[in-house]
Amino acid sequence: MTADVATPTRPDAVEPEPGPRRRPPWLRHLPPVVLLLVLAWLPYVPVELPGLLPGRVNGPGSMQLLATCLVFAGFALSYDVIFGRTGLLSFGHALFVASGSYLLTISVSSWSMPLPLALLVALGGTTLLAVVVGGIALRVGGIAFAMVTLAFAQAASIIVLRDPGGVTGGEEGKALARDAVPSILVGVSNAPYRYWLALGFVVVAFLLVQALVASRAGHAMAAVRENEGRAAVLGFTTYRVKLLAIVVGAFLGGLGGVVHALVLGGSSPHLTSAEFTLALLVMVVLGGAGSRWGALVGGFLYHYADARLVEASGSGVFDVLPDVLADVLGEPLFILGTFFVVVVYFAPTGLTGLGGRLVRKAVRP
């Protein structure tokens, strides 16, 4: 019978260090939920932020500005599905945003449709338009694709400005019939409800994009963005993948156009311009193309800076400066363009990419 003999422990033996503890899954969702609660609570905050907002945080002017910034953040997110997630450089995304806005306004104001039916017409018409435009434009690639999408958008802009049958309002835009809109979305005192509507649009768009990215279709879009030839070899039908990206981006853009019309009380011909599509491209690149929060941050900050700089240039705040400097700083597009060049040069991955690197350096031991 043999006795159990304990194996002696080497004095120089070192126990392996435990690996890094994984964060609980719910912890990843905590910051977005906290941010959403803070944004939802802003209409109850009577604090003034001089220089940042026009009056109190929950004042009508501030609420309207923040609501419009949120809508533009959703616009940028819809464009990021096409450009950031799939790698398609489209110059015609303004067509889909304007389609949602104008179809809603025309359906309600000119065709006397109830609002729910007008919503279906706006979103259905925008989706159908995306299938047609995307189906034609995707027959070519590269810069030719960008030019074809630009041609469609410019054609739509000409139609809107010529005001056929008096339904688009021409250069003045088309006002939304007040009696067809819920009363809580009309009037200065109801600005918080329009803000909540814009916030709800951003949340819905963000969740839809997140679900798309996590799906098989989202993985196929990423594969097409990285290497379209390899994606085709792997068995993906790249034409369908790109068409799906255009349709999803157009649907979200059309939904944003609907919300934009409800927030501002009508449709503006600015939404049909090539300048607006170029602004969407700047928003996405500024925040970080293809990132979770890049498009939202870029869209929000771009429109906020544009609106505040326009207000500052018209208030005479730069009059104390020399004439040459005052003239330069009085042009919001010049300031935004300079800031964009600086961000692209020093932070190629956008503001969110730069922020992520700074956070990782701060927490790194």
Query: In whole angstroms, what is the distance from residue 283 CA to residue 80 CA?
Result: 9
First-to-last alpha carbon distance for the chain, in angstroms, is 55
Evaluate whether residue 128 is within a structural domain. yes
Residues 279-329 pLDDT 10s: 999 999 998 888 878 999 999 999 999 888 877 766 666 666 676 666 666
pLDDT band at 263 (very low <50, low <70, confident <90, very high): very high
Query: In whole angstroms, what is the distance from residue 73 CA to residue 197 CA?
Result: 13
Query: What tokens were used for 269?
Result: 């011909």
Residues 15-31 pLDDT 10s: 555 545 566 666 677 88
- On the question of pLDDT at 173 being above 80, the answer is yes
Give the DSSP letter string of 20-41.
PPPPPHHHHHHHHHHHHHHHHH
Query: What tokens were used for 302?
Result: 């771009």
Evaluate whether residue 205 is within a structural domain. yes
Evaluate whether residue 166 is within a structural domain. yes
For the residues 3-17, what does the mean pLDDT come to? 51
Query: What tokens were used for 312?
Result: 């500052």
Residues 217-244 pLDDT 10s: 999 999 999 988 899 888 889 999 999 9
Which domain covers residue 188, as residue numbers?
Answer: 57-274
Evaluate whether residue 198 is within a structural domain. yes
Give the DSSP letter string of 69-84.
HHHHHHHHHHHHHHTT
Evaluate whether residue 341 is within a structural domain. no
pLDDT band at 1 (very low <50, low <70, confident <90, very high): very low
Residues 122-150 pLDDT 10s: 999 999 999 999 999 999 988 999 999 99
Structural domain tally of the chain? 1
Computed over every residue of the chain, the mean pLDDT equals 87
Q: Which residue has the higher pLDDT, 315 or 209?
A: 209
Evaluate whether residue 131 is within a structural domain. yes
Q: State if pTM tops 0.85.
A: yes
Evaluate whether residue 313 is within a structural domain. no
The whole-angstrom distance between residue 138's C-alpha and the CA centroid of its chain comes to 23
